[in-house]
């Protein structure tokens, strides 16, 4: 209850939630909202190719003469599906690894964390490119690759939290009662890390969406589906030379829109569950003004006193 | 009190050292391994139905004794016998501590024996704000021991046992409390929940580790009266840990005074308080406020701080602060020896 209140009171979070809600509604209502079916081949005349916006095609047409707005609307589905499923996978794996590594420690924990370090050091995108190039470009593969490579940060976060929670007295009490390890982990430790995990998962959704867009932009998207990244890919290859901004701009802005919404929500949740972030200098309104003006906050006060 | 039956608890020469992690520099300079000697040779016996106070300043090792008694830590040396069974023997020589028994790493038979201890002996922790899971309801907290030990076949019986435990501890009517979360209760109420959670298993031994030190003075007497009633009505044995002589004098039968990981004086509470024999005990008693100002006593103010348990002074560990120390105290480490029936003191001068 308290967390909900805090969230609602934060304008950043509310704006982010509103922005995300719009995208979710668009994705759900795509068949009704989209003026055309983007998957259907259309008969085109040379004039239709990359035609600029007009009354019938609000965002113009692409290089095959198809409606850009309809593609944009359907593209929201791919982004959200990839984002939510991949981040759910990362959340699940990362939480499990973090709980086990943090609770048991010792040799098992050390090896798990070494694996985490190893995965963290490898740059994600090149690795994803290689794997997708080898395994094929289906949507499932894309989700799996993003999900299976994206859990490391969550694992670290959960592990460090578990290390402190497991020393708390109520865990000691559970142990003195004879509670088994699974019981201690699930009943006493897991509930304390849930809020943190959720905040991180929201941020992970945007990371996953960006990863899918990057893959698609580099030509490794699912060829049977239209996604924003793929639209950008086509636009870059074929539309830039013709200055067809109506094909390039909308998918780019859509990606920014949805990532921004998730980052706003995620940061707000993070501020609520992880009080240390509240003192971050970017969230301190006073200092932000000072930064913008370029005057240290105390200098002004001194000047006034003289 | 039947003195002839097996004591419920025998602590025999208990040592608990915590090794200090060495830095690279320490290894290179060949500095020896050092450790915190939290408990350094403690022996005592508790009879059934008795309340024994373990008194000492902060850092004297009281909590460590309690944790070892309950098998929450593995003793470095020494034995702990619960109802005649050597609890430490279950773990020693098998490469697994009782802690590991919590983790399925030991054979089932040994785990079962550990579970018996976990059921028959309970601990009440110092801080009622920390010893309750903030995300469990009061009902779940008190019912959890029953679930862990699979003690209630029916839901109704489970509810009734939780109700009885809560109401015994003064949280009546129980329905009024059990849907709440710990944050909604006061410190005193929380400590009652902690006690209820310990009582629901009907334990024989209760280790109460400074159960009132975090509570308001006005609530302390209520909680201590509750503990006293438990002993009277159920014959529960209590090992009561405190740094406060006044509360110890209030309701305990015997008293052990600890200093730097050792017991320096052990005897009947009334006798220790009225005729303290160890200089440390005398110093402690002299600073307890007395209600009657005309009976003002000579105060003994100890010099210096309680030393760090890493560098324990040679000889008698109390001699650097002792107002009555003689040269021999610097060399001889005094043993606990009887000075009266049932009254032992570790001092060269008595
Ligand atoms: N896990 C541990 N690791 C290292 N040192 C420890 C550990 N537990 C306790 N100690 C040290 O052992 C000594 C005794 O601690 P203990 O908690 O038993 O004292 P206490 O008498 O209960 O004190 P308090 O009144 O502060 O609770 C202290 O110096 C403490 O710092
Ligand atoms: Mg303590």
Q: Do residues B155 and B276 both lie within one domain?
A: no
Residue B326 lies in a domain: no
Whole-number Å distance, alpha carbon B82 to ligand 1 midpoint, is 23
Q: Do residues B168 and B293 both lie within one domain?
A: no
Residue B329 lies in a domain: no
Q: Do residues B165 and B258 both lie within one domain?
A: no
Task: Kindly determine whether residue B130 and residue A175, on different chains, have CB atoms separated by under 8 Å.
Answer: no
Least confidently predicted of A295-299, B126-130, B225-229, B274-278: A295-299
Q: Does residue A282 carry a pLDDT above 50?
A: no
Binned at pLDDT 50, 70 and 90, residue A67 comes out as confident
Cβ contact B115:B149 at 8 Å: yes
Q: Does residue A299 carry a pLDDT above 50?
A: no
Helices (H) and strands (E) in chain B, counts: 11, 12
Which residue's structure tokens are 């000072």?
A290
Q: Whose CA is closest to atom 12 on ligand 1?
A: B38
Domains held by chain B: number: 2
Report the percent of chain B where pLDDT is more than 70: 89
Q: Do residues A212 and A296 both lie within one domain?
A: no
- Closest CA–CA distance from residue A166 to any residue of chain B (Å): 11
Q: Do residues A216 and A180 both lie within one domain?
A: yes
Q: pLDDT of B198-210, one tens digit each?
A: 999 999 999 999 9
Q: Do residues A260 and A168 both lie within one domain?
A: yes
- Closest CA–CA distance from residue A174 to any residue of chain B (Å): 8
For residue B60, the ligand 1 atom closest to its alpha carbon is: 21
Q: pLDDT of B290-302, one tens digit each?
A: 666 565 566 777 7
Residue of chain A nearest B130, judged by CA positions: A169
pLDDT score, position A276: 53
Ligand 1 pocket, residue B16 CB under 6 Å:
no
- Closest CA–CA distance from residue B128 to any residue of chain A (Å): 9
Residue B60 lies in a domain: yes
Q: Do residues A108 and A129 both lie within one domain?
A: yes
Q: What six digits make up the tokens of B264? A: 């320096």
Q: Do residues B47 and B108 both lie within one domain?
A: yes
Domains held by chain A: number: 2
Which residue's structure tokens are 């982990």?
A185
Edge to edge, what strands does the sheet with B121-124 contain? B121-124, B205-209, B237-242, B51-56, B254-259, B262-268, B343-345, B337-340
Residue B265: strand pairing partners: B257, B345
How does the average pLDDT of chain A come out, rounded?
83
Number of CB pairs < 8 Å for A and B? 64
Residue B106 lies in a domain: yes
Residue A178 lies in a domain: yes
Least confidently predicted of B2-6, B183-187, B285-289: B2-6
For residue B243, the ligand 1 atom closest to its alpha carbon is: 25
Ligand 1 pocket, residue B38 CB under 6 Å:
yes
Tell me the CATH number at A208: 1.10.3720.10
Binned at pLDDT 50, 70 and 90, residue A297 comes out as very low
Please give the backbone phi and psi of residue B184, each rounded to the nearest 5 degrees, phi first: -90, 0
Q: Do residues B99 and B211 both lie within one domain?
A: yes
Residue A48 lies in a domain: no
Q: Whose CA is closest to atom 28 on ligand 1?
A: B59
Tell me the CATH number at B79: 3.40.50.300
Whole-number Å distance, alpha carbon B284 to ligand 1 midpoint, is 20
Residue B321 lies in a domain: no
Cβ contact B315:B327 at 8 Å: no
Q: What six digits make up the tokens of B195? A: 């006690």
Q: pLDDT of B72-114, one tens digit each?
A: 888 999 999 988 888 876 655 443 444 444 444 455 566 677 7
Domain extent at residue A293: 281-306
Whole-number Å distance, alpha carbon B230 to ligand 1 midpoint, is 28
Ligand 1 pocket, residue B61 CB under 6 Å:
yes
Q: Does residue A127 carry a pLDDT above 70?
A: yes
Residue A294 lies in a domain: yes
Residue B23 lies in a domain: yes
Task: Kindly determine whether residue B144 and residue A168, on different chains, have CB atoms separated by under 8 Å.
Answer: no
Q: Do residues B60 and B91 both lie within one domain?
A: yes
Residue A15 lies in a domain: yes
Q: Do residues A6 and A135 both lie within one domain?
A: yes
Q: Does residue B38 carry a pLDDT above 70?
A: yes
Whole-number Å distance, alpha carbon A302 to ligand 2 midpoint, is 50
Domain extent at residue B146: 135-203
Residues of B in contact with A184 (CB under 8 A): 102
Residue A147 lies in a domain: yes
Cβ contact B206:B236 at 8 Å: yes
Q: Do residues B108 and B191 both lie within one domain?
A: no
Residue A46 lies in a domain: no
Q: pLDDT of A128-144, one tens digit each?
A: 989 998 998 889 999 99
How far is it, in rounded angstroms, from Cα A41 to Cα B309? 83
Task: Kindly determine whether residue A176 and residue B115, on different chains, have CB atoms separated by under 8 Å.
Answer: no
Return the ligand number nearest the Cα of B38: 1
Q: pLDDT of A183-223, one tens digit each?
A: 999 999 999 999 889 989 999 999 999 999 999 988 888 88
Who's near A97: CB < 8 A, 6+ residues apart?
A112, A116, A151, A155, A158, A159
Q: Do residues B168 and B22 both lie within one domain?
A: no
Q: pLDDT of A217-252, one tens digit each?
A: 888 888 888 899 888 888 888 777 777 777 888 899
Ligand 1 pocket, residue B261 CB under 6 Å:
no
The top-scoring range by mean pLDDT among A97-111, B256-270, B287-301 is B256-270
Q: Do residues A305 and A243 both lie within one domain?
A: no
Residues of B in contact with A167 (CB under 8 A): none
Whole-number Å distance, alpha carbon B241 to ligand 2 midpoint, is 8
Average pLDDT over residues B19-47: 88
For residue B62, the ligand 1 atom closest to its alpha carbon is: 21
Residue B350 lies in a domain: no
Residues of A in contact with B115 (CB under 8 A): 178
Compare B147 and A58 and report the one with higher pLDDT. Answer: B147
């Amino acid at each position: 209850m308290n967390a909900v209140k805090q969230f609602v009171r934060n304008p950043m979070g509310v704006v982010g939630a509103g922005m995300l809600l719009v995208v979710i509604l668009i994705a759900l209502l795509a068949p009704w909202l989209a003026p055309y079916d983007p998957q259907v081949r259309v008969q085109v005349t040379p004039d239709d190719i990359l035609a600029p916006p007009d009354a019938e095609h609000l965002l113009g047409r692409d290089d095959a003469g198809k409606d850009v707005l309809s593609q944009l609307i359907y593209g929201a589905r791919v982004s959200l599906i990839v984002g939510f499923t991949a981040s759910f996978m990362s959340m699940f794996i990362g939480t499990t690894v973090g709980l086990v590594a943090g609770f048991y420690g010792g040799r098992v924990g050390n090896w798990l964390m070494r694996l985490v370090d190893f995965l963290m050091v490898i740059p994600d995108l090149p690795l994803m490119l290689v794997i997708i190039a080898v395994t094929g470009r289906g949507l499932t593969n894309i989700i799996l690759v993003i999900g299976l490579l994206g859990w490391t940060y969550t694992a670290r976060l959960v592990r460090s939290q578990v290390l402190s929670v497991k020393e708390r007295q109520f865990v000691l009490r559970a142990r003195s009662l004879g509670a088994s390890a699974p019981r201690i982990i699930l009943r006493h430790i897991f509930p304390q890390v849930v809020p943190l995990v959720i905040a991180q998962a929201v941020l992970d959704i945007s990371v996953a969406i960006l990863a899918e867009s990057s893959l698609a932009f580099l030509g490794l998207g699912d060829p049977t589906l239209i996604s924003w990244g793929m639209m950008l890919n086509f636009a870059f290859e074929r539309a830039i030379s013709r200055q067809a901004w109506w094909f390039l701009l909308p998918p780019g802005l859509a990606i920014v829109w949805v990532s921004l919404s998730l980052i706003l929500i995620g940061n707000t949740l993070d501020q609520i569950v992880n009080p240390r972030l509240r003192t971050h200098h970017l969230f301190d309104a006073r200092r932000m003004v000072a930064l913008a003006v370029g005057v240290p906050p105390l200098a002004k006060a001194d000047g006034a006193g003289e | 009190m039947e003195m002839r039956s097996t004591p419920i608890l025998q602590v025999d020469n208990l040592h608990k050292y915590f090794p200090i992690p060495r830095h690279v520099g320490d290894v290179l300079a060949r500095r020896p391994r050092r450790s915190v000697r939290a408990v350094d040779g403690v022996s005592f016996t508790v009879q059934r139905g008795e309340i024994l106070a373990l008194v000492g300043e902060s850092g004297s090792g009281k909590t460590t004794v309690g944790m070892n008694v309950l098998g929450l830590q593995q003793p470095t040396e020494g034995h702990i016998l619960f109802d005649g069974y050597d609890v430490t023997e279950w773990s020693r020589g098998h490469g697994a501590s009782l802690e590991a028994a919590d983790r399925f790493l030991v054979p089932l038979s040994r785990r079962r024996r550990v579970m018996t201890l976990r059921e028959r002996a309970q601990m009440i922790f110092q801080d009622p704000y920390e010893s309750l899971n903030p995300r469990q309801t009061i009902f779940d907290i008190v019912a959890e021991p029953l679930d862990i030990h699979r003690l209630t076949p029916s839901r109704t019986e489970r509810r009734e046992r939780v109700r009885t435990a809560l109401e015994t501890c003064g949280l009546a009517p129980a329905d009024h409390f059990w849907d709440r979360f710990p944050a909604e209760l006061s410190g005193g109420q929380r400590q009652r929940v902690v006690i209820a959670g310990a009582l629901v298993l009907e334990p024989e031994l209760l280790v109460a580790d400074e159960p009132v030190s975090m509570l308001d003075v006005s609530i302390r007497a209520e909680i201590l009266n509750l503990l006293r009633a438990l002993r009277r009505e159920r014959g529960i044995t209590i090992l009561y840990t405190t740094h406060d002589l006044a509360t110890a004098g209030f309701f305990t039968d015997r008293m052990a005074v600890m200093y730097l990981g050792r017991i320096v004086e052990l005897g009947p509470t009334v006798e220790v308080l009225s005729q303290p024999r160890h200089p440390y005990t005398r110093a402690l008693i002299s600073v307890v406020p007395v209600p009657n100002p005309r009976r003002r006593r000579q105060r003994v103010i100890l010099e210096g701080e309680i030393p760090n348990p890493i560098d324990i002074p040679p000889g008698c560990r109390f001699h650097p602060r002792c107002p009555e120390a003689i040269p021999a105290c610097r060399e001889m480490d005094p043993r606990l020896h009887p000075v009266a029936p049932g009254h032992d003191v570790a001092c060269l001068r008595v």
